[in-house]
Amino acid sequence: MADWDAESDEESPSKPLSALPEWEPVRWGSSSGQKVSSSVRSGKEERQSPSRENWRSRADGSRGRGREYRPGGGGGGGGVAWEFRKSRESGSVPLCFRLDNSVVGTVIGRGGSKIRELEDSSGSKIQIVKGEYESDVKIFGSDETQKRAKILIDDLVKRYGERPERDSKFCGRDSTSGYSNSAQVASSANGPRRPIINWASIRENKEKYEAMKWAGLPPVEKMFYRESKVVASRSREEVAQWRKENNNIICNDIKEGEKRAIPNPVVTFEEAFQYFPEIMDTIQKVGFLKPTPIQSQAWPIILQGLDLIGIAQTGTGKTLAYLLPGFIHLDSQPIPRAQRGGPGMLVLAPTRELALQVEAECSKYKYKGFKSICIYGGGDRKGQINLVTKGVDIIIATPGRLNDLQMNNIINLKSLTYLVLDEADRMLDMGFEPQIMKILIDVRPDRQTVMTSATWPDGVRRLAKSYLKDPMMVYVGTLDLAAVNTVEQKVVILPEEEKRAYTRHFVDSLKPQDKIIIFVGKKLIADDLSSDFSLQGVPVQSLHGNREQCDREQALDDFKKGKVRILVATDLAARGLDVQDVTHVFNFDFPRNIEEYVHRVGRTGRAGRTGESVTLVTRKDWKFAAELINILERANQEVPEELLLMAERYKQHKMKLDNEKDMAKPRGRWHRDF
């Protein structure tokens, strides 16, 4: 089950990264007892020490740490937590203690090394092993050397060791544990006094600045849900049964600490929007019969003002799941729209196509005359600026272009109170994280945030943890293609050089009313294949990132309207594309991962229709065979014998490689590196 626990081990964003002091490990001459200070940065030693030559620095970790090593916990008394441990490596007993990574982390962490060792000619050695939040420090050497080191460090900690306040959430230790602040330690070394960094004051100033930045903004109204009696009266069993039968919905409260009750789903539009007649009118106009599973479960959560993570693919109705509550949210803010000085809702989307599609959904409902605008790179920048400056309520944007307008002070994001990160996994795949970070600096922190993603990898978890507040999570129609039982999936195994002939044969066999997307791996192949078809008199359009935006829009329009019935596309079209009458997906090239396969296949069999997918597999795709078999089996599809053999061959090949790697590893207990 997904939870924050599975978070990646990246540096916590709450840590002050920019102002890290240079770390100054305390050193002592083994014979003279002379103390010197050294700093280590970026894997290089910068020394002023008279005994510099005596020290060897090793960052390769080849004689790294014993994994079982855990230095003692609470040191208490404001000092360092000391512990002597027998080292299996050398037989000597090292002196061990632990420092906060905010003190040493960047110093030893850069350059990829997690272990650093400093050794002198007498055999005395300091070893630092960087952990997730703390670094373990071991001092090896004679009793005399260790005693001296201990006295020095204790003394420094006593004199200067005002321990940095700890954020127990991230450090996982209580605040009585001993930590020394390196800037302070450094200041007492024999070298010149260094300025003491006052972390408490830095943090306080940051909070003050934040408070100033958001001062004067009107409060945000978020709660618009009144659970109907019918919804409230559903028993646990009924709800569980309903979730099971509706794409096996799984809900989760991600808030740390005490968990909240997950609201019961609504199964009719009235149950969600009975107090919002205009919304009901809009729904009736478009003629939808009932909410989709994601809508049923997301609406009661979002309408309560909670942040939500929706793990759902395009085609599940996720756009309306966040748009309708967004309309209500915008309409119900205490400050009238005209006086807000900027838009109230922002939807960030990974591609122009998806952004345009969300905008189309937005305009379709025309709720209370809200003005929406789509801002995307490649589009008419001037025109977009004109529209923004005239005043809009809803912005749907790709991160790059929005960041551009933000940096140029063309757009005010402070008025936003409702934020959507749509297809977050795709945005990360496309490298938009820096732009998202910059954009969100200017969006008030007490906003409501909804995030959708088709998958839940570490990067998305990290994003959610950084930008959503105590969210609830709803999984719908996961990557389990068993849920997409409307698509018949065929796999054809053939040599690379036969792919074109097979494709031509397949296209020739299509019926006049069929509509097909041919997915290829490269833009060049998309161009190549579509010009082949054109030369043969088969009308096609192509869609890929190298085409001008107007050509891309034209291609999509032609395909949607049926002017052409074949679209040759790269994975640009795998997600977000909502063309409901696609009858076939044809994978000319196997996608770069199995998730993309699922997205591609999901372009057909939509809105209650059935569809067919054909996937060409060649020898070079053998590494995907096992995952593909898994998907086919779960969707009750036929698995070709040859695919099974291919998976088996790849398994054997992998085992052989792993064995060879194992044999090549150095023996002994230190070979298990990070």
Question: Given the rule CB under 6 A, which residues bind ligand AMP?
Answer: 288, 291-292, 295, 314-320, 361, 578
**Beta strands at 611-617 and 487-493: parallel, antiparallel or unpaired:** parallel
- The minimum distance between CB 359 and ligand AMP, in angstroms, equals 12
Nearer to ligand AMP, 578 or 621 (CB): 578
31 burial level (CB within 10 Å; 0-12, 13-18, 19+): middle
Nearer to ligand AMP, 12 or 319 (CB): 319
- The minimum distance between CB 422 and ligand AMP, in angstroms, equals 9
DSSP H or E stretch at residue 370 = none
Nearer to ligand AMP, 12 or 314 (CB): 314
* Strand, helix or coil for residue 426: helix
- The minimum distance between CB 609 and ligand AMP, in angstroms, equals 12
Q: Which residue has the tokens 């507040």?
A: 469
- The minimum distance between CB 308 and ligand AMP, in angstroms, equals 15
Nearer to ligand AMP, 37 or 296 (CB): 296
Alpha-carbon Rg for the chain, nearest whole angstrom, is: 30
- The minimum distance between CB 290 and ligand AMP, in angstroms, equals 6
What is the greatest pairwise CA distance in the chain? 92
Check if the beta carbon of residue 342 is closer than 8 Å to that of residue 217: no
Q: In whole angstroms, what is the distance from residue 226 CA to residue 629 CA?
A: 46
Q: In whole angstroms, what is the distance from residue 569 CA to residue 584 CA?
A: 13
* Strand, helix or coil for residue 491: strand
- Give CA separation, 144 vs 148, 158, 443, 495, in Å: 6, 21, 57, 72
* Strand, helix or coil for residue 567: strand
Nearer to ligand AMP, 125 or 606 (CB): 606
- The minimum distance between CB 323 and ligand AMP, in angstroms, equals 8
- The minimum distance between CB 576 and ligand AMP, in angstroms, equals 7
Nearer to ligand AMP, 292 or 541 (CB): 292
Q: In whole angstroms, what is the distance from residue 96 CA to residue 146 CA?
A: 10
Nearer to ligand AMP, 282 or 384 (CB): 282
DSSP sequence for 281-304: HHHHHHT--S--HHHHHHHHHHTT
- The minimum distance between CB 520 and ligand AMP, in angstroms, equals 23
Nearer to ligand AMP, 132 or 480 (CB): 480
Nearer to ligand AMP, 246 or 295 (CB): 295
Q: In whole angstroms, what is the distance from residue 347 CA to residue 359 CA?
A: 9
DSSP H or E stretch at residue 263 = none
- The minimum distance between CB 405 and ligand AMP, in angstroms, equals 25
Q: In whole angstroms, what is the distance from residue 626 CA to residue 617 CA?
A: 12
Nearer to ligand AMP, 277 or 287 (CB): 287
The token duo for 206 is 């940051």
Long-range contacts of 269-276 (CB under 8 A, 24+ apart): 270/228, 271/228, 271/230, 271/231, 272/299, 272/300, 272/303, 272/324, 273/299, 273/324, 274/228, 275/224, 275/226, 276/224, 276/328
- The minimum distance between CB 556 and ligand AMP, in angstroms, equals 14
Nearer to ligand AMP, 106 or 313 (CB): 313
Provide φ and ψ at 519, rounded to 5°: -90, 135
- The minimum distance between CB 76 and ligand AMP, in angstroms, equals 56
Q: Which residue has the tokens 């002592």?
A: 28
Residue nearest to ligand AMP (CB): 319
